[in-house]
Amino acid sequence: MTKKKAVFLDKDGTLITDVPYNADPAFMALSSHCVAGLHHLQEKGYLLVVVSNQAGVARGYFSETALIAVEQRLKEMLAGTGIILNGFYYCPHHPDGMVKSLTINCDCRKPAPGLLFKAAEELDIDLSTSWMIGDILNDIEAGNRAGCRSILIDNGNETEWYLNEIRNPVLKARTINEAADHILKTDVK
Averaged pLDDT score across all residues of the chain: 96
47 neighbors 125 (Cβ within 8 angstroms) = yes
User: One-letter amino acid identity for 166?
Assistant: I
**Farthest CA pair distance, the chain:** 49
Instruction: Summarize the confidence of residues 136-156 as an average pLDDT.
Output: 97
7 neighbors 41 (Cβ within 8 angstroms) = yes
139 neighbors 11 (Cβ within 8 angstroms) = no
pLDDT of residue 149: 98
Which residue in the list 12, 24, 126, 139 is annotated as catalytic? Answer: 12
Could you tell me the domains of the chain?
A: 5-186 (3.40.50.1000)
Instruction: DSSP for the chain, please give it.
Output: -PPBEEEEE-TBTTTB---TT---GGG--BPSS-HHHHHHHHHTTEEEEEEEE-HHHHTTSS-TTHHHHHHHHHHHHHHTTT----EEEEE---TT-SSGGG-S--SSSTTS-HHHHHHHHHHTB-GGG-EEEESSHHHHHHHHHHT-EEEEE-SS--------GGG--SEEESSHHHHHHHHHHHT--
HSE-CB for 180 with a 13 A CA cutoff: 23
What pTM value is reported for the model? 0.96
Q: Is the pLDDT of residue 158 over 80?
A: yes
Which residue in the list 10, 24, 107, 181 is annotated as catalytic? Answer: 10
- Catalytic, 12? Answer yes
Q: Is the pLDDT of residue 189 over 60?
A: no
- Catalytic, 10? Answer yes
Q: Is the pLDDT of residue 147 over 70?
A: yes
pLDDT tens for 42-79 read 999 999 999 999 999 999 999 999 999 999 999 999 99
